[in-house]
Amino acid sequence: MKKTIKILAVTALIFCAVPLMAQRGPGGRGRHGGQGRPGGPEMKGMMQDMMLEEAGVPEKQRAEIRKKAHEIHRQMMELNFEIRELRLQIKKEYDKKKPSEKTLKSINSKIAELRKKQFIIMGNFKIEVHLSLTPEQRKKLLELGRRNRKKFMHKMGDHPGFGPDDLDD
């Protein structure tokens, strides 16, 4: 059971870049736009594909995963747009001399529902990808995820709550 949870966690880490990329502005530089840079969202997608390839996932299957990830990315962008529009409505309501509690709570609930929808979409995508892999591919992906986390943590330096032992299990 513990191993299954670890495999799911690694798979989740690998594919969590999709909603993060969806929240970035044009050019992969946050909300301010601008030119893409090495290590930006494009690189993250390539890194995920390289990890899948290294785990032994055939090109045809990786292409299907990329296609689905692209669709998820599109959905996330649409949902993020809706959320931004609702946040503008909330701001306008707060700016009124007498904001309506009912309106604020209603908009807040709509935002929560959209976030929930995003969470479900991403969770289902992670599950689909996980179930499409063989046990050997999942094991290799778990190993690659551990290796990459260790490299990342080493780059970041010492961090409270993260010791070398935390990365092994």
> What average pLDDT does this structure show over 67-76?
93
Backbone angles phi, psi at 159, to 5 degrees: -140, 130
pLDDT value for 47: 63
Please check the confidence at residue 158 and state whether its pLDDT lies above 80.
no
pTM for this prediction? 0.61
Please check the confidence at residue 160 and state whether its pLDDT lies above 70.
no
pLDDT value for 103: 96
> 6 in the Ramachandran plot: left (φ > 0), alpha (ψ -120 to 50) or beta?
alpha
On average, the pLDDT of the chain sits at 77
Structure confidence by residue, pLDDT tens digits, 112-149: 999 999 999 999 998 998 899 899 988 988 888 888 88
